[in-house]
Amino acid sequence: MTAADTTPPRARQRRRRRIPALAVLTWLYILWSLLPVLVAVRISFNSGKSRSSFQSPSFRWYWDDPTASILRDDSMHVALRNTLVLAALCMAIATPLGVAMAIGLQRWRSRTSSAANGLMLIPIVTPEIVFGVALFLVFSQLYTGVPDGLTRQVLGHITFTMSFVVVIIRGRLASIGTQFEEAARDLGATRLQAIRLVLLPMLLPAIFASVMVVFATSVDDFVISSFLSTGASTETVPIRIYSGARAGATPALNALATVMLVLTLAAVALAAVALRAASRRTSAPGQVAGDLAALRA
């Protein structure tokens, strides 16, 4: 296999004690992880109905087809809009809640705060089906006054994603330490001013990273959205991909998934640029990969 040869030759010479078998395996894995998705993207441009073999390129499933293209099929763009609205509301609410909670938990020392910290971590390890069922039952049995559909989905997504924000921000808070805020306080800033003028700017890269994680998690979520969905008008893209595969699927599903993919990657790229700009200004080295690793480790 030639996958290993894609490593730049100079880097190859420089590395000591390299094990080529591992490099081959790693590049094969990367190929395996991404190639199917590229094939799916290609099929979205198929002119025929087949979802397995490519005939000739066209935009039929994007806008040309009068009924089944994502432009003309209402259920498709409703799903797209629902997904984006859901993610936007979730980012707007979960991020500030999570950032404040991270700052609070990091500084507040008592038995109650340890308990709160433990509580914050539990949603991360709770399988989504438990989450989905629990939210489904609490809304249908107890919080019956909450409007069904989108409102419940937003509340569910916030509950599910907030802890990710807290973990990412806490990781960064621990590495920043308290000395900068103390200096600000010595120079006469109030506690809130010290946070607003010193701490928040330093946290900016981590906040960007957590907004991206919230976005990706919300956009990707199938289980919670599905349990809180009340029908076609509250379907999201993952739900549409899931339910669409059964009933006479066309490459329009691939087109829908491709649009979502492009939007997500564009958002991530934008955030990466913003992150780089922000971290240059504050000299806090920001690495989304590092933040993600902190989240999952």
Partner 1 sequence: MPSTRYWSWFAAPGVAWLVGFFVVSVYAVAAVAFGQVDPLLKTAIPAWNPLQWRTDAMSDVLGRLAGGDLGRVAVRTFLFVGAALAGCVAIGYPVAYFVARTARRSRGIVLGLLVLPFWISYLMRMLAWTNLLQADGYVNRILGWIGVLDQPRTWLDGSASTVVIGLVYGYVPFFILPMYSALERIDGRLIEAARDLGASRAAAFARVTLPLSVPGLLAASVITVLPMFGDYYTNAYLTSGSPRTEMIGNQVEFFLRGSSQPQKGASLVLLLMAALLMLMVYYLVTTIRQQRAMER
CB 173 within 8 A of CB 106: yes
Q: Which is nearer to partner 1, 66 or 138 (CB)?
A: 138
Q: How many residues bind partner 1 (CB under 8 A)?
A: 104
> Phi and psi (nearest 5°) for 229?
-85, 145
Q: Which is nearer to partner 1, 65 or 181 (CB)?
A: 181
Collapsed DSSP state (helix, strand, coil) of residue 114: helix
Structure letter (DSSP) for residue 198: I
Span of 4-12, 66-74, 181-189, 196-204 interacting with partner 1 by CB under 8 A: 4-12
Residue selected from 55, 57, 81, 121 as contacting partner 1 according to rule CB under 8 A = 121
> Does 43 interact with partner 1 (rule: CB under 8 A)?
yes
- Rounded to the nearest whole angstrom, what is the least distance from the CB of residue 13 to partner 1 in the complex? 11
Both tokens assigned to 244: 């669409």
Residues 228-257 that bind partner 1 (CB under 8 A): 237-238, 241-242, 245-246, 253-254, 257
Both tokens assigned to 76: 């498709």
Q: What x-and-dash track marks residues 77-116 binding partner 1 by CB under 8 A?
A: --------------------xx-xx-xxxxxxxx-xx--x
> Does 13 interact with partner 1 (rule: CB under 8 A)?
no
Structure letter (DSSP) for residue 147: P
Amino acid, res. 5: D
How far apart CA 291 and CA 208 sit, in angstroms, is 11
> Does 176 interact with partner 1 (rule: CB under 8 A)?
no
- Distance of CA 232 to CAs 74, 77, 78, 288, 292, Å? 10, 11, 8, 35, 33
Q: Which is nearer to partner 1, 204 or 238 (CB)?
A: 238
Residue selected from 68, 135, 203, 275 as contacting partner 1 according to rule CB under 8 A = 135
Cross-strand bridge partners of residue 57 = 46
Q: Which is nearer to partner 1, 19 or 67 (CB)?
A: 19
